[in-house]
Chains A and B, each alone.
Chain A
């Protein structure tokens, strides 16, 4: 079945460092891909999305490119801030009647001042 694999955390960075969180997927067909962020004690917020190959999603300085040839959707940010500290989830939405989201296990990012 469809699945998402993302790098384990925690990822600890200093402020203004470059961030990469790896995400790969397995899916039949052409899924849509998402990154969600979860701040402590809160629900999930959509960070960015891409719906077809070579699409680049971007938001708040974060970017991810849908790479069909490597089945990847890595999250990047050029300069992280303390306020970016959160758990990041990669997810895919496959086909079918439900269009349910399938999530990775999440990656905790801790940014130190």
Chain B
């Protein structure tokens, strides 16, 4: 079975631009969560979606938004990018209470 897949793996954006990151969960997993990992720190919770509904949101500004599609894949959108948004963005899918992480998308804002 394929694991959690994220795309793209790397991207570079300019301050003020918008970015969309994508995640495909493990087949059968209905919950997707997003985490931001700044270099040298632990991942921070951004969003969780279950059955296309937002279940929780971390302490991130409204520039961050997400959605989940009928096939349970998910997108994370970040508007008006700041230099501080440079990070590894991790997606995790879960069936019950266990989380499986993807390899992440490395976003660099210049």
Footprint of B on A, CB under 8 Å? 4, 32, 36, 42-46, 49, 89, 91, 93, 96-106
Contact = CB atoms under 8 A, between A and B. Distances in A.
Contacts of B98: 46, 49
Interface of B: 4, 33, 35, 40-45, 48, 55-56, 58, 90, 92, 97-104
A99 B97 contact: yes
Given A43-B4, A43-B103, A105-B40, 17 more contacts: A32-B97, A36-B101, A42-B104, A43-B90, A43-B102, A44-B43, A44-B90, A46-B98, A46-B99, A89-B43, A98-B33, A100-B33, A100-B45, A100-B56, A100-B58, A101-B99, A106-B41
Given A43-B101, A43-B103, A93-B97, A98 B42 contact: no
- Dominant SS at the A interface? strand
B102 A98 contact: no
30 contacts: A4-B42, A32-B97, A42-B103, A43-B90, A43-B103, A44-B43, A44-B92, A44-B101, A45-B101, A46-B99, A46-B100, A89-B43, A91-B42, A93-B97, A98-B33, A98-B45, A98-B48, A98-B55, A99-B97, A100-B33, A100-B48, A100-B58, A101-B92, A102-B45, A103-B44, A104-B42, A105-B41, A105-B42, A106-B41, A106-B42
